[in-house]
C-alpha cells in the first residue's frame, strides 16, 4: 500500500499518470469489498494508454476556485493550477500538464495556495519554498523550475504543513528532522 485516503461515495477520484493525463472516477464506481478481498485493479476501471502509469491520486469533494493542484515533474518543474480547471471530465482523460521530452509527472498535491512546498532529489538535495512563488497557470501549460535537478531526478514533493519531515532512503534508512532546518528559499 502506497497511499491511503478517505472519500465519500460522491467524491471524485482524480488519477494523474506519468504522461500528465488526468482521469476521473466517482468513488462509488470502485466496487465495495470485504476486509480480506483483493479489490480491483485501476486498469479495469479506467482506460489508460499503453505504458501509462498512475503516479498520483487526489480526492476532490468540490471543484473550488480557491483551491489549487500543484504538480512536480522528474526534471524539477512545478506547476500550480486552479482546481476548477479540472471540473469537466472526459472519457479518455484530459491533459493535466504539458511535459517536455524525457520528463514525467512525479506527484500532485491539493493546496489552498498559501502552503510551503518541499522538493527532494535522488541525490539527497531538497528545497523548501513558498507556494506563492509559483504563479497559477492554465491546465495545458508546462510550469516553472522548482529545483535545479542537474543530473539527478526529482523523487518527491511534500507540503510542509507539519513541524517534521520524515525522509526514508531506498535502502530503508530514515530520519525525522524539523522542517525549519530546511531554509526557506525561492523556487529554482
Mean pLDDT of the chain: 89
- Note the pTM of the prediction, 2 decimals: 0.88
Task: Write down the pLDDT at residue 34.
Answer: 86
Task: Write down the pLDDT at residue 51.
Answer: 85
The DSSP code sequence of the chain is --------TT-EEEEEETTSEEEEEEGGGSPP--TT-----GGGTS---TT--EEEEEEESS--TT-EEEEEETTSEEEEEEGGGG-S--TT-EES----TT--EEEEEEE-S--EEEEEETTS-EEEEEGGGS-B--TTS--EESS--TTSPEEEEEE--SSEEEEE-TTS-EEEEEGGGS-EE---
- Is it the case that residue 107 has pLDDT exceeding 90? yes
pLDDT per position as a tens digit, 127-184: 999 999 999 998 888 989 988 877 778 889 999 999 999 999 889 999 999 999 998 9
Pairing verdict, β 77-82 and 144-145: antiparallel
Task: Write down the pLDDT at residue 18.
Answer: 93
Amino acid at each position: 500500500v502506497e497511499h491511503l485516503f478517505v472519500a465519500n461515495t460522491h467524491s471524485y477520484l482524480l488519477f494523474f499518470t506519468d504522461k500528465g493525463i488526468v482521469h476521473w472516477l466517482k468513488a462509488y464506481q470502485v466496487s465495495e469489498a470485504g476486509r480480506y478481498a483483493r479489490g480491483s485493479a485501476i486498469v479495469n476501471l479506467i482506460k489508460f494508454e499503453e505504458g501509462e502509469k498512475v503516479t498520483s491520486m487526489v480526492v476532490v469533494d468540490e471543484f473550488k476556485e480557491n483551491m489549487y493542484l500543484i504538480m512536480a515533474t522528474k526534471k524539477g518543474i512545478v506547476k500550480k493550477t486552479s482546481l476548477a480547471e479540472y471540473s469537466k471530465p472526459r472519457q479518455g482523460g484530459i491533459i493535466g500538464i504539458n511535459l517536455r521530452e524525457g520528463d514525467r509527472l512525479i506527484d500532485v498535491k491539493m493546496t489552498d495556495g498559501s502552503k510551503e512546498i518541499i522538493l527532494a532529489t535522488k541525490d539527497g538535495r531538497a528545497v523548501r519554498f513558498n507556494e506563492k512563488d509559483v504563479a497559477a497557470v492554465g491546465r495545458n501549460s508546462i510550469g516553472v523550475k522548482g529545483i535545479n535537478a542537474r543530473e539527478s531526478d526529482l523523487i518527491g514533493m511534500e507540503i510542509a504543513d507539519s513541524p517534521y519531515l520524515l525522509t526514508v532512503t531506498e535502502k530503508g534508512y530514515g530520519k525525522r528532522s524539523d522542517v525549519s532546518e530546511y531554509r526557506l528559499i525561492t523556487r529554482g
